[in-house]
Amino acid sequence: MPEELNIQQSITLSKKRLPIYIIGTGGIVKDAHLPAYKKAGFIVSGIFDLDYNKATTLARQFDIPHVYKSIDEMVQAGGTDCVYDVAVPANKIMEVLQQLPHGAKVLMQKPMGENLQEAKEIVAFTENNNMLAAVNFQLRYAPYINAAHSIIKQNLIGEIFDIEININVFTPWHLWSFLYTAPRVEILYHSIHYIDLIRHFLGNPSGMIAKTFKHPQMQQLSSVRSDIIMDYGTHTRVFIHTNHTHNYGLHNQHAYIKIEGAKGAIKINVGSLMNYPVGVKDAFEYILKSNDGNNQWQQLALQGSWFPDAFIGSMNELMLAATGEKQVPDNGVQDALYTMACVEAAYQSDKISSVALDI
């Protein structure tokens, strides 16, 4: 990497810290939330789950001092001078919010409800109850996304003309059993990450074009593959392709984010999605056009990955706002509502019949 380039992968951590109280002990808490908070030096003061024994086991593993038998008991201890990390399925978010105190600070797991109407109700509830609330759209804060954002903000690749996200992997959906009864799966629970990420780079699209698919070997799930176009006009192509059913070994699996601009390009290999949950090594390459025509792809050594490092960023955004270090979190519910609106538009597009041949 040329010495004159300053590509930032890290984030600025909050100087002040509030204690964290976690509601839910699913795999994402064990594998991402808690390792991330430990790495960042955030303090987890308590945990609750309907399965008390499971919560106790996790508390021992991560040295969490208090295991609560109810949310009410947790609220009595935490009050409003803390952050509630709500890691429950989308259809349970409102139920949990209703048990938190007026003025609570809340980071809720994505998606923000199962549809746009639920998302609107969640936003209205948090506003009416003076809650500072954000959504855990953490891909925005992965070290390789921070690096891409740093390059883009410095205008090193110029105006963006093309973003392609292409995922061809085998995902073990059985790890999230609640999805087998969910009316929406692939776009709402997976591609939503990429929709949110593209909004992070380009702002809101004017519309969505999408088709989402079942698979004959995964009939219990409502969808496991999707093709999505986000409409940013006639010059900027944004395309998301996901196939979670490539069950033919690792050899031809791939997962990448490619961003092309007027003056250069970036390609990120998202290793955590391949051979899941073991993963493979991430990779970050970029190319910048030079006046002498000596255009070579450069490798950037990465400092962390999506799991667990990106989860530091989403919690840190709420910490910064909760402690007065910034006005609103970047991932606040008001912003997340637009990501949910994009998801809803994608599902509405999926319902529209294709154009019949006129011959």
Q: What is the CATH number of the domain that holds 254?
A: 3.30.360.10
In a domain, 335, yes or no: no
Sequence-distant (6+) residues with CB within 8 A of 349 are 208, 209, 210, 211
Sequence-distant (6+) residues with CB within 8 A of 319 are 14, 16, 17, 18, 42, 83, 325
Please tell me whether residues 209 and 234 are part of one structural domain: yes
Calculate mean pLDDT across residues 318-338.
Answer: 97
pLDDT of 2 higher than 60 = no
**So what's the pLDDT on residue 320?**
98
In a domain, 155, yes or no: yes
Please tell me whether residues 217 and 90 are part of one structural domain: no
State the pTM of this model: 0.96
In a domain, 325, yes or no: no
- Domain stops at, among 109, 136, 163: 136
**So what's the pLDDT on residue 10?**
95
In a domain, 295, yes or no: yes
In a domain, 290, yes or no: yes
Residue from 253, 110, 254 nearest 191 by CA: 110
Per-residue pLDDT of 161-213, as tens digits, reads 999 999 999 999 999 999 999 999 999 999 999 999 999 999 999 999 999 99
Round to whole Å and give the CA distance between 260 and 273: 22
Domain region containing 42 = 20-136
pLDDT of 295 higher than 90 = no
**So what's the pLDDT on residue 188?**
98
Please tell me whether residues 84 and 222 are part of one structural domain: no
- Domain stops at, among 264, 280, 309: 309
Please tell me whether residues 228 and 292 are part of one structural domain: yes
Calculate mean pLDDT across residues 118-125.
Answer: 98
Q: What are phi and psi of 273, to 5 degrees?
A: -85, -15
**So what's the pLDDT on residue 4?**
66
Please tell me whether residues 156 and 301 are part of one structural domain: yes
Please tell me whether residues 157 and 289 are part of one structural domain: yes
Please tell me whether residues 27 and 124 are part of one structural domain: yes
Please tell me whether residues 305 and 173 are part of one structural domain: yes
Average pLDDT of the residues of the chain: 96
Calculate mean pLDDT across residues 313-340.
Answer: 97
Please tell me whether residues 304 and 228 are part of one structural domain: yes
Round to whole Å and give the CA distance between 346 and 212: 9
* E strand spans, 35-159: 44-48, 66-68, 83-86, 105-108, 132-135
Please tell me whether residues 72 and 192 are part of one structural domain: no
Confidence of residue 85 (pLDDT cuts 50, 70, 90): very high
Per-residue pLDDT of 156-169, as tens digits, reads 999 999 999 999 99
Percent of the chain whose predicted confidence (pLDDT) is above 70: 99
Please tell me whether residues 185 and 251 are part of one structural domain: yes
**So what's the pLDDT on residue 353?**
87
In a domain, 319, yes or no: no
What total of structural domains would you count in the chain? 2
Domain at 50, CATH number: 3.40.50.720
In a domain, 212, yes or no: yes
**So what's the pLDDT on residue 3?**
47
Per-residue pLDDT of 247-275, as tens digits, reads 999 999 999 999 999 999 999 999 999 99
Residue 293 or 148, more confident = 148
**So what's the pLDDT on residue 1?**
42
| Beta strand 160-168 pairing with 207-213 | unpaired
In a domain, 78, yes or no: yes
Please tell me whether residues 50 and 163 are part of one structural domain: no
